[in-house]
Amino acid sequence: MSGTGGEWSGKGVVVTGGAQGIGHAVTRAFCQAGAFVALWDADETALAWAGEELSVVGRVLPVRCDVSSEEEISRAACKTLDAFGNVAALVCNAGIMQRSPIGETSLTQWNRVIGVNLTGAWLCVRALVEPLRAASGAVVTIASTRAFQSEPDTEAYAASKGGLTALTHSLAVSLGPEVRVNCIAPGWVDVSRLGKPGGRVPETLRPEDHAQHPAGRVGRPEDVAELALFLCSGKAGFMTGETVVLDGGMTRRMLYLE
């Protein structure tokens, strides 16, 4: 179990999409820091797995929640506050990808991606804004470098992540000074090893995959988790409304087709 007496001791934290991948690493980091963490996730199998695995690290509360649903968010918020009594930080990590040519993408598919990735973050902040204010808390949204550069056939995903960066600075202005709001835009992160058994197939990374990054490697979920913990902490008390690109320098490197 995590120790007590630190900045996060006794404080409640919500991590959406907290059962797998980046969210799992964020949940673990806050648990290790002494926080009580509610992991909201729509995947019940992953929730059960993560809850059992992380319970040895700290106090966790797995909550089944589809963040595109106002009703489910309201229930999750009530359950979290009943359990912890406060929410001092919110990490909006839940996200889904839709990859299909524009002519083959339905409005339903478009709306689903925007609903989870962008509207879901706004709904979660709205549901928890009063406890966050009471705690002089912090929000971190998880966008992507796809907000600034794209792959073919990912319009809904790119639009949702670009929207998150704008939502972040808008919320920072609206909710400050009581609540700080910042965004992390990760690049390539290998999340395949942090998931429920039988879930993602482990990614096979080549030397050239790492070499594309000036930092010399592909990102790890723990990279994002450590930054999220910092941005929510008092050490980042003068930082709000910002988007931090965390990609090992990949978007700063000129790439040419050969």
* CATH code of the domain containing 169: 3.40.50.720
What's this model's pTM, rounded to 2 decimal places? 0.93
196 inside domain:
yes
pLDDT value for 23: 97
Are 156 and 199 in contact by the 8 Å Cβ rule? The answer is no
3 inside domain:
no
255 inside domain:
no
pLDDT value for 1: 41
pLDDT value for 3: 46
Q: Which structural domain, as residue segments, surrounds residue 190?
A: 12-249
Are 24 and 1 in contact by the 8 Å Cβ rule? The answer is no
Tell me how far the alpha carbon of residue 73 is from its chain's centroid: 16
User: What is the token pair recorded at 41?
Assistant: 């996730």
Sign of CA dihedral 15, 21, 24, 25: negative
d(Cα 105, Cα 112) in Å, to the nearest integer?
11
Catalytic residues: 157
Are 6 and 34 in contact by the 8 Å Cβ rule? The answer is yes
Say how many domains are in the chain: 1
d(Cα 156, Cα 173) in Å, to the nearest integer?
26
69 inside domain:
yes
> Residue 14's closest CA among 71, 90, 118?
90
6 inside domain:
no
Per-residue pLDDT in tens (0 to 9) along the chain, 258 residues: 444 459 999 999 999 999 999 999 999 999 999 999 999 999 999 999 999 999 999 999 999 999 999 999 999 999 999 999 999 999 999 999 999 999 999 999 999 999 999 999 999 999 999 999 999 999 999 999 999 999 999 999 999 999 999 999 999 999 999 999 999 999 889 887 765 555 556 677 777 667 677 777 888 999 999 999 999 999 999 999 999 999 888 888 767 655
Are 132 and 180 in contact by the 8 Å Cβ rule? The answer is no
Burial class (CB in 10 A: 0-12, 13-18, 19+), 142: buried
Measured CA angle at 243 (ends 208, 8), to 5 deg: 100
Are 138 and 89 in contact by the 8 Å Cβ rule? The answer is yes
Q: In what order do the strands lie in the sheet with 243-246?
A: 60-64, 36-41, 12-16, 89-92, 138-142, 180-186, 243-246
Backbone angles phi, psi at 213, to 5 degrees: -100, 125
Query: Is 49 strand, coil or helix?
Result: helix
Kindly write down the DSSP assignment for every residue of 145-187, as one continuous string: GGGTS--TT-HHHHHHHHHHHHHHHHHHHHHTTTSEEEEEEE-
pLDDT value for 93: 98
